[in-house]
Structure 1
Amino acid sequence: MTTRTTPWPAGTPCWVDLMATDLEHTQKFYRDVLGWTFSESQAEYGGYCNALVDGETVAGLSPTMEGMESAPHVWSVYLATDDLAADAATAVEAGATQVFEPMEVGPFGSMGMWIDPTGAAFGMWQANEHTGFRRVEEPGTVAWCDLMTRDPGAAQEFYQTVFGYTYQDIGQENMPYALFTVPGGEQPAGGIGGPDPAAGDAQPGWSVAFQVDDVDAAVERVRAAGGTVSADPSDFEYGRMAVVAGPDGEVFVVMTPSGTV
């Protein structure tokens, strides 16, 4: 268990959030599956609320924004930045497409959203009062974020240009994957890889894994709460995991880590 009260190092996945068709229903689903409680929905910020573990922020939920009803429901991943304007300019110069202009979110911080050169959407977050994940390394918190894309080499080059990532290749011949570390980081902060060849026409995107005590039990909670399971529990080098989806079809991973990556 770790509580963090200061901003995350630049380039680190520092926040995830989701737009929900029915906010109350989605809150109930994640309360049942991950044990989350929630802050009050804030009308002045589009009904946004924070998911909490032991009273500390771990993720965000909001009702679907007007005009975005047809947008896919996905967990959005935000990368920390110390200078949003400068990193935004670097990202565009390196081939990213801006989804919407960077903006201040009250006293909490500033954010923006882009699509990287491989087609994956990502956000950036410059912290003020809201520093991102305040609780990690326990059930209900984010355990891992990574990017899967059909051109992982181009993605690695892009994020290295913007954030200075360095890489440790741990992939296989038919499934490339590299851990990335941010400048000054002591351990990997996430990964970039290519999709499973069996994934067919899988779209590029960042994804999130939430930590649980027992993956098999979490999968049963997903089913009981009305979610679906697309990959049954299985063991891998760093623990046990399953791929599931929530009320709007948003895909995420439940994972029990075996130790430090």
Structure 2
Amino acid sequence: MAGSEASAAFSEGVPCWVDAQLPDVPAGKRFYGELFGWTFEAFEGAEEADEAYGGSVPSASSVPSVRALLDGEPVAALAPKRDARMPTVWTVYFATPDADALVGRIVEAGGQVITAPVPVGPYGRTGLAADPEGAVFGLWEAGTHPGFGKRHEPGAFAWAELYARDTAVADSFYADLFHDALFGPGTTRDFGRAPVSDVFPAEMPPHFLVHFGVEDCEAVLGTVLRLGGRIQAPPFDTSYGHVAVVTDNQGASFAILQR
């Protein structure tokens, strides 16, 4: 099933959405609402897809998933974990006009499919996959929800960094998938990659790190600590800005980015 015209807002391979799987969504709302000024609304009309997706749609449990808004525009989602064994984590989703075709290319390129594409009510279709080193990412084929209503500003998605053990493997895999949209000429500058040992212990598994924009990195770190989060990596400079890595009050890692 091809996506609607809404998918034209994001070219294939562009990060278009993020969500967090949390043990306690109300606690997540309090944390991120104060940290980034987000407000929240429930997703409507997608209950039938929630169990299959396990993500940014209303939950079959008593606690629904919510969409985070910044100045009234969608920027992220918070979803309850369906299984205590699942990680508490932020996931980045890449846009695609055809999730089924992309899944085929992922397998051919040496990746694996974790969750085959499923419909999420009227919003679109989604799945989860992993690259050859095991870094997990999402796929999003847009229906009525193309993705971010805001990005590249304080309180919104600003960057996704892949921390890989072998950057040559990452370059080859994602270039095959997205035709050089990520690392080649004309890149959107929304996605980069680096050796995992640049920031984390060498034994850390390869993973994606979602970055949110901030005006003052050091000031935001104080708020993170006050709200019960912690600092994983103190501020450091990168080619794309001034970054610190933190966890929220439930253990989900993310980065803050000051351009």
TM-score of the two chains, using structure 1 as the length reference: 0.85
1:120 aligned residue (135, 151, 155):
135
Q: 1:11 to 1:99 in 2, by over 3 A?
A: same
Which residue pairs with 2:3 in the alignment? none
User: For 1:139, what is the secondary structure of its paired residue?
Assistant: coil
Matched, 1:203 2:209: no
1:37-81 CA deviation, whole Å, 9 max, x = no partner?
Answer: 11126582322211110010111111111xx21111111111110
In the alignment, what sits opposite 1:189? Answer: 190
Distance verdict in 2 for CA 1:30–1:74, change over 3 Å: same
Code of the residue aligned with 2:65 in structure 1: it is Y
Unaligned runs of 5+ in 1: 167-178
Q: Deviations over 1:207-242 (max 9, x none)?
A: 111001111110000001000012223344433221
Letter in 1 for 2:41: S
* Seq. identity, %: 37
Q: CA contact under 8 A between 1:181 and 1:188: conserved in structure 2?
A: no
Return closer, same or farther for 1:31/1:90 CA change in 2, 3 Å cut-off.
same
Counterpart of 1:152 in structure 2 is 167
Do residues 137 (structure 1) and 152 (structure 2) align? yes
Change (3 A) 1:181 1:188: farther
Tell me the SS of whatever aligns to 2:148: coil
Aligned residues: 238
> 1:160, 1:186 → 2: CA distance?
11
User: Would you say 1:60 and 2:60 are equivalent positions?
Assistant: no
Name structure 2 gaps, 5 residues minimum.
1-5, 48-57
**Does 2:126 correspond to 1:111?**
yes
Aligned-partner residue type, residue 229 of structure 1:
I
Distance in 2, Cα, partners of 1:253 & 1:57: 19
Whole-angstrom CA distance in 2 between matches of 1:102 and 1:112: 4
Alpha carbons of 1:92 and 1:238: their partners in 2 closer, same or farther (altered >3 Å)? closer
Deviation at 1:134, TM superposition (A): 1.0
Distance in 2 of aligned mates of 1:160 and 1:235: 26
How far apart, in 1, do the equivalents of 2:66 and 2:101 lie? 28
Q: 1:39 to 1:15 in 2, by over 3 A?
A: same
In the other structure, the counterpart of 2:11 is 9
Q: Report the CA distance between 1:82 and its aligned residue.
A: 1.0
Larger mean Cα displacement after TM superposition, 107-116 or 240-249: 240-249
Partner Cα distance (2:119, 2:143) in 1: 10
Q: Name the TM-score, length of structure 2 as normaliser.
A: 0.86
Whichever residue aligns with residue 244 of structure 2, its letter is A
Give SS of 2:137's match: strand
Corresponding letter in the other structure for 2:76: A
